[in-house]
Amino acid sequence: MKILNSFGPNPRMLRMFLAEKGLKMDMVEHDILTGENRESGYVKKNPGGQMPALELDDGTILAETVVICDYLEELHPTPALIGSNAEERAEARMWNRRIEQKITENIYAAFKYAEGIDMFKNRVRCLPEAADGLKASAQDGLAWLDEQITGKTFICGDRITIADLVLYCCTNFSAGVGQTIDASLDNVNAWFNRIDQRPSAKSSLHPAAEKTGMKG
């Protein structure tokens, strides 16, 4: 079993998940900056072209970062980053989906359509006219979350989950491409600083982060 790895916030989220669990796995590097994940050799394995992916020993490919985390947590249940019982797992998945819908999907799409358009214009359909609205929607989502996490250490209370990792890797990346967390959002900024101080935040950074100036 091996990770098909690259630079980027989603591959970083998986590396952070592994670090929090104390897991070490073989990794095969792919150059997402040159579009290697959109070339026929990779797309033949993973038709969606996403990074990262998990290649099982029998050649089966699992894609979608949170799906891979779900799979690995089934194999390695402790420490639990999704949950140790049905209620905890449902709570983590609920908050993660809220964060994706309200914040991270908007941030990533806005990056593709604006600051990252030169990288993506020949890979996927880009809608530059939508970028400003998507950025505003992401900020609305962060403002909503700021109220929701009042008095909480992590998004799900006193336990770190995939919801924290997904949002942290996205907002750490977006800060380098013109989409920062508003300074007035005290709860979100305090939450970000707590996650940023974890050893996994530093160890999960890809070597290309220094070269690109983006945290992925």
What SS3 class is residue 43? helix
User: Edge-to-edge strand order for the sheet containing 2-5?
Assistant: 26-29, 2-5, 53-55, 61-63
Q: Which domains does the chain have, with CATH numbers?
A: 2-75 (3.40.30.10), 86-199 (1.20.1050.10)
Alpha-carbon distance of 207 to 56, in angstroms, equals 25
Name the token pair of 199.
């050893």
Let me know: does 66 contact 96? Beta carbons within 8 Å. yes
Half-sphere exposure of 72 (CA within 13 A, CB side): 31
Alpha-carbon distance of 127 to 71, in angstroms, equals 34
Burial (CB < 10 A; 0-12, 13-18, 19+), residue 118, is exposed
Measuring CA to CA, which residue among 119, 132, 139, 127 is closest to residue 7?
Answer: 119
Alpha-carbon distance of 79 to 73, in angstroms, equals 9
**What's the whole-model pTM score?**
0.93
The per-residue pLDDT for 116 is 67
The per-residue pLDDT for 198 is 98
One-letter amino acid identity for 122? N
Name the token pair of 101.
């819908």
The per-residue pLDDT for 59 is 94
Alpha-carbon distance of 207 to 197, in angstroms, equals 19
The per-residue pLDDT for 121 is 62
Alpha-carbon distance of 205 to 15, in angstroms, equals 8
Name the pairing type of β-strands 2-5 and 61-63.
Answer: unpaired
Binned average pLDDT, 10 residues per bin, the chain of 216 residues: 95 98 96 83 87 96 96 98 98 98 94 73 71 93 98 98 98 91 97 98 92 84
Count of C-beta atoms within a 10 Å radius of residue 141: 21
Measuring CA to CA, which residue among 133, 180, 195, 161 is closest to residue 17?
Answer: 161
